[in-house]
Structures are given as structure tokens and as C-alpha cells.
């Protein structure tokens, strides 16, 4: 019998693949499903034809807030004109910068409001190199044909590991002991310090982060329960409970992993703290509006909550500095005065691994959209994709027509395309906006120009792009 061989791909092979394979599927927030199903639709053809936009100057890209090097490299390798800034910009400066760019990449601090976006005359796509997209006016962007992409799952492991660390730190009061030692005080105590083995972790929101956290916690001897608005399959021996109240009454540690929605605002408030076990702990690494901070302060002062860890806040500074004070949030000083409280500056996904994965995923989505018109993973437009054109199809063009979702559009579009052979076509709608892609053959530059002008003249038109 021959000896076993390591058949894992080499590191250089994985690095090459990373530029083409999405690190997560376009799944719902709650779904903890695997990534495998996404691979078959993201692998490019070996002989794929490199498309370029018609009637558009060289692609200009603006990257703000220190987007990871991996993402910057992918965009530069496409030959785009890439401008990179380490910080966000005040709104007036942002408006000046955004006027002539086709692609903008941001993180959580940059606010792309309707006022900003209406000045972006050439903008076709926004990349949010983070989980959330609430910093972008998604409706305005969709109504003006601007696609928005993000990376909802690439930092899941980083957040889950942070929460595990915080659970242990809270149970052992490590933050207080560390601060005391830094100030020269030796305080060796065991009172109200616990092992986490045998304790119950309650996870509010069993999405990708919650599911990973569930597995990690169980491996450390914790019992896991979770509450979610969907009925989900639990991992390991985790158990779903029917109500938030049931979870709060049973859990020793409560951790929040829900999106920012109207129904999650103030989800954990005075009533919920009263429902928690005496001496339990709260962790919030989701969104700052989920927890009522003044209610948390009172719950900790009364001793009902023995400790808490917050990574997110209702109002967060736009940059680093001495800004976490009462001017930012009126309760800032009261919060900072509490014992056994871990405060971190929204660093749940701030690891080298997570930021690199986010950079690769979002930059790849941006290049696919610019070069191929593919909207898989877009958060504000219908998800539409066609197989790549190949170098064996030299006289082909790809028509992308973003339009108002009104009756009669397809008939008029197909009348324009009707003089040519349409090899493949796909259309889908999302609310008031529809997205059409069609590949046509045997066209020259003069015909492409005529097609472009004809589509631009339609009343339904939001944006026309032709790639050839």
C-alpha cells in the first residue's frame, strides 16, 4: 500500500484562486449554509474575453478608508485608474472627488447620501468593504442604476472569536484586573469569577456569525441556545428557543448578532434586562442601536447584569481620536465608569485575515460588474448573470440595460435588438428597477453606437452600458 499523500492545494494556487472565487454565497442573513454552491457560478472561463465598456473613458476608481491591499491590487491589475486614501472625507470634499469616478470603495464611516450620489455623474457601482450598507442610500442608488456590493460574511470568524474572548474576559473580570495592575494594584480574587464550561450561551440571531460562535462555544463546554425569527437547523447540540424572553431567562451569557432593522432597534432594553438571569452578561457586536445603553447602565449599576462587552454604539466617531465622550453620546461618561465592562471601537471584523478576505470579495464583485455586468451579490439590484463571452466570439457585445420596471419595456428593447442575433438574454426586476443583459453577435463599432443611442432614447431608461 502506498503512503498517504497531502493533496491540499499549494498556497500559491489558493492565492490565485482567491481573485476569482467569492468567499461567500449570496445567501440570506440568517442562513448558515455552506459556501460550496457558489463556486460553480463564479469560476471564470479559461478563454474568457476581456470586455471593455463602450462610450466610457478609462475606469476611475476612488478608494477611501484604507481599503485592504488585496482589494486594491485586484482593481489595479484590471488597469483601472485607482486613487487610494486612508481616511474618509467630509461631505463637501467627497462631492468634489466623486464627480468623475466610475467606482467608489468605502467602509463604514463614509456616508453616500442622495446629496452626494446625485453629484456622481459617472458612477456605476459602489463597493462597501464591510458587512453593512446602511451608510449608502440604497434606494437612490438603485433608481439611478448604481449597483452596490458588500461582504456580509467574510469577517464572521473574526467576530465569533472576539466574542469568545470577551465571554472569558467577562467571566474572569480580566479587564478590571488588568486595569488595576496597570495602576499598581494587586487584587487577587476569585469571588464571582467563573469558568465558562457548563454555562449557557444565548445567541440572538443565528446567522453566519451566530452559527460559527455556536460551534466554538460548544467546543469549550458551553450549552448553546439561540433565538431567530426563522426556524433554522441548529449546529451541534445547540437548541432553538421560540421567544427572546425564553432565551434571556435561561442564558448566562447573551450575545447579539442581528442586522440593523426597525424591529431590532432597542431590541434589548429595560424590559429585556429584567427578563435576564441575575448576574448574567451581555455582549453586543452587531449594531449599536440594538441595545438601549442607558438601560444597560442601570442594569449594571443594580447588579442585574454582572458584565458587558460592547463593540458597537448608536453614534460612532468618523475617525480615530479622543471622540468617545458625552458630545458623541450623552451617556458616554456614565458608561465608561462601569466595572467589568469591555469597550472596543467597532473592531469585530478588524483582523488581517478578515480585511484581506473582504478586499478580495468586494474587489472581485466590482471588477465582474464593471467588466461583465454581473450583479450576483448586489444588495440593491436584481441578481443577473450570463456566462462569459470567449475569445472565440470576437464580434460580440454585451448589452446591459437598467430600466424602470414598467409594462412594455422588453418589447421596445427587443425591437432595437431585433436586427441582430441575440445569443442569450436574461432579465429580472426588484421593486421599481429592472435589469436586462443580452449578448448579441456580429456587430461592429458603428452598430454598437447606434444600439447605445437607441436604448438611451427610451423613456424607461435608467442606465445603458454596452461591453464589447
Q: What are phi and psi of 441, to 5 degrees?
A: -115, 165
User: In Å, how far are 73, 122, 407 from 56, measured between CA atoms?
Assistant: 22, 9, 29
Residues 6+ apart with CB under 8 A from 176: 339, 340
Asked whether residue 161 carries a pLDDT value surpassing 80, the answer given is: yes
Q: C-alpha cell of 71?
A: 482589494
> Strand 103-106 to strand 60-63: parallel, antiparallel, or no bridges (unpaired)?
parallel
Q: For residue 56, what pLDDT is reported? A: 60
Q: For residue 55, what pLDDT is reported? A: 55
Q: Nearest-CA neighbor of 288 among 245, 251, 246, 324?
A: 324
Asked whether residue 448 carries a pLDDT value surpassing 70, the answer given is: yes
Kindly indicate the confidence band of residue 132, based on its pLDDT and cuts at 50, 70 and 90. confident
Asked whether residue 10 carries a pLDDT value surpassing 80, the answer given is: no
Kindly indicate the confidence band of residue 428, based on its pLDDT and cuts at 50, 70 and 90. very high
- Percent of the chain topping pLDDT 90: 81
Question: In this structure, are residues 133 and 154 in contact, taking their beta carbons and an 8 Å threshold?
Answer: no
What is the rounded radius of gyration, in angstroms, for the C-alpha atoms of the chain?
25
Question: In this structure, are residues 24 and 358 in contact, taking their beta carbons and an 8 Å threshold?
Answer: no
Residue spans of beta strands (DSSP E) within 85-222: 103-106, 125-128, 147-149, 200-204
Question: In this structure, are residues 128 and 154 in contact, taking their beta carbons and an 8 Å threshold?
Answer: no
User: How many residues in the chain?
Assistant: 468
Q: Which domains, from first to last, does the chain contain?
A: 47-150+351-381 (3.40.50.720), 156-343 (3.40.50.720), 382-467 (3.30.70.260)
For the chain, percent helix, then strand, then coil, each to nearest 5? 30, 20, 50
Asked whether residue 21 carries a pLDDT value surpassing 90, the answer given is: no
Kindly indicate the confidence band of residue 215, based on its pLDDT and cuts at 50, 70 and 90. very high
Asked whether residue 39 carries a pLDDT value surpassing 90, the answer given is: no
Asked whether residue 353 carries a pLDDT value surpassing 70, the answer given is: yes
Q: For residue 86, what pLDDT is reported? A: 94
d(CA 350, CA 328) in angstroms, rounded, equals 22
Q: For residue 45, what pLDDT is reported? A: 54
Mean pLDDT lowest among 32-41, 122-131, 305-314, 346-355: 32-41
Residue spans of beta strands (DSSP E) within 144-218: 147-149, 200-204
SS3 227: strand
What residue has cell string 455623474?
Answer: 121
Q: Which residues are catalytic?
A: 287, 316, 346
Q: In this predicted model, what pLDDT tens digit does every residue of 355-392 receive, in sequence order?
A: 999 999 999 999 999 999 999 999 999 999 998 887 77
Q: C-alpha cell of 313?
A: 454604539
92-102 average pLDDT score: 96
Q: In this predicted model, what pLDDT tens digit does every residue of 399-414 receive, in sequence order?
A: 999 999 999 999 999 9
Range 191-205 burial, b when 16+ CB lie within 10 A, else e:
eeebebeebbbbbbb
Q: Nearest-CA neighbor of 348 among 170, 130, 135, 71?
A: 130
109-138 average pLDDT score: 95
Q: In this predicted model, what pLDDT tens digit does every residue of 60-86 receive, in sequence order?
A: 999 999 999 999 999 999 999 999 999
Kindly indicate the confidence band of residue 108, based on its pLDDT and cuts at 50, 70 and 90. confident
105-130 average pLDDT score: 96
User: In Å, how far are 111, 288, 294, 315 from 328, measured between CA atoms?
Assistant: 17, 13, 14, 6
105-132 average pLDDT score: 95
What residue has cell string 451579490?
Answer: 377
Amino acid at each position: 500500500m502506498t503512503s498517504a499523500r497531502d493533496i491540499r492545494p499549494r498556497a500559491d494556487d489558493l492565492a490565485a484562486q482567491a481573485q476569482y472565487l467569492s468567499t461567500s454565497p449570496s445567501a440570506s442573513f440568517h442562513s448558515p449554509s455552506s459556501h460550496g454552491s457558489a463556486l460553480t457560478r463564479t469560476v471564470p472561463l479559461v478563454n474568457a474575453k476581456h470586455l471593455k465598456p463602450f462610450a466610457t473613458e478609462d475606469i476611475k476608481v476612488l478608494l477611501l478608508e484604507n481599503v485592504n491591499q488585496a482589494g486594491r491590487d485586484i482593481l489595479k491589475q484590471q488597469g483601472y485608474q485607482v486613487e487610494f486614501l486612508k481616511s474618509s472625507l467630509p461631505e463637501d470634499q467627497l462631492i468634489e472627488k466623486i464627480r468623475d469616478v466610475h467606482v467608489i470603495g468605502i467602509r463604514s464611516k463614509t456616508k453616500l447620501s442622495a446629496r452626494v450620489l446625485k453629484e456622481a455623474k459617472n458612477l456605476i457601482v459602489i463597493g462597501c468593504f464591510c458587512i453593512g450598507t446602511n451608510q449608502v442610500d440604497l434606494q437612490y442608488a438603485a433608481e439611478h442604476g448604481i449597483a452596490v456590493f458588500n461582504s456580509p460574511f467574510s469577517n464572521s470568524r473574526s467576530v465569533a472569536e472576539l466574542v469568545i474572548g470577551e465571554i472569558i474576559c467577562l467571566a474572569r473580570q480580566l479587564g478590571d484586573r488588568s486595569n488595576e495592575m496597570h495602576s499598581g494594584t494587586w487584587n487577587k480574587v476569585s469571588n464571582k469569577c467563573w469558568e465558562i464550561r457548563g454555562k449557557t450561551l444565548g445567541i440572538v440571531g443565528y446567522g453566519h456569525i451566530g452559527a460559527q460562535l455556536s460551534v466554538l462555544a460548544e467546543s469549550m463546554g458551553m450549552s448553546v441556545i439561540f433565538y431567530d425569527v426563522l426556524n433554522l437547523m441548529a449546529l451541534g447540540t445547540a437548541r432553538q428557543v421560540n421567544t427572546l424572553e425564553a432565551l434571556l431567562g435561561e442564558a448566562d451569557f447573551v450575545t447579539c448578532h442581528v442586522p440593523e432593522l426597525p424591529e431590532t432597534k432597542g431590541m434589548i432594553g429595560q424590559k429585556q434586562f429584567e427578563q435576564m438571569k441575575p448576574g448574567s452578561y451581555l455582549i453586543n457586536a452587531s449594531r449599536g442601536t440594538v441595545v438601549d445603553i442607558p438601560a444597560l447602565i442601570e442594569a449594571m449599576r443594580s447588579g442585574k447584569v454582572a458584565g458587558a462587552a460592547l463593540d458597537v454604539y448608536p453614534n460612532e466617531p468618523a475617525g480615530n481620536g479622543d471622540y468617545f465622550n458625552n458630545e458623541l453620546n450623552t451617556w458616554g461618561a456614565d458608561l465608561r465608569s462601569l466595572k467589568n465592562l469591555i469597550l472596543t471601537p467597532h473592531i469585530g471584523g478588524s483582523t488581517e485575515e478578515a480585511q484581506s478576505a473582504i478586499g478580495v470579495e468586494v474587489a472581485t464583485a466590482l471588477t465582474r460588474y464593471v467588466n461583465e455586468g454581473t450583479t450576483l451579490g448586489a444588495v440593491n439590484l436584481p441578481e443577473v448573470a450570463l456566462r462569459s463571452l470567449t475569445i472565440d466570439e470576437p464580434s460580440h457585445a454585451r448589452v446591459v440595460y437598467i430600466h424602470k420596471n414598467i409594462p412594455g419595456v422588453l418589447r421596445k428593447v427587443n425591437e432595437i435588438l431585433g436586427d441582430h442575433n441575440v445569443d442569450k438574454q436574461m432579465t429580472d426586476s426588484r421593486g421599481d428597477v429592472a435589469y436586462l443583459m443580452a449578448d448579441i453577435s456580429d456587430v461592429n463599432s458603428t452598430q454598437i453606437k447606434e444600439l447605445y443611442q437607441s436604448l438611451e432614447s427610451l423613456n424607461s431608461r435608467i442606465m445603458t452600458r454596452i461591453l464589447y
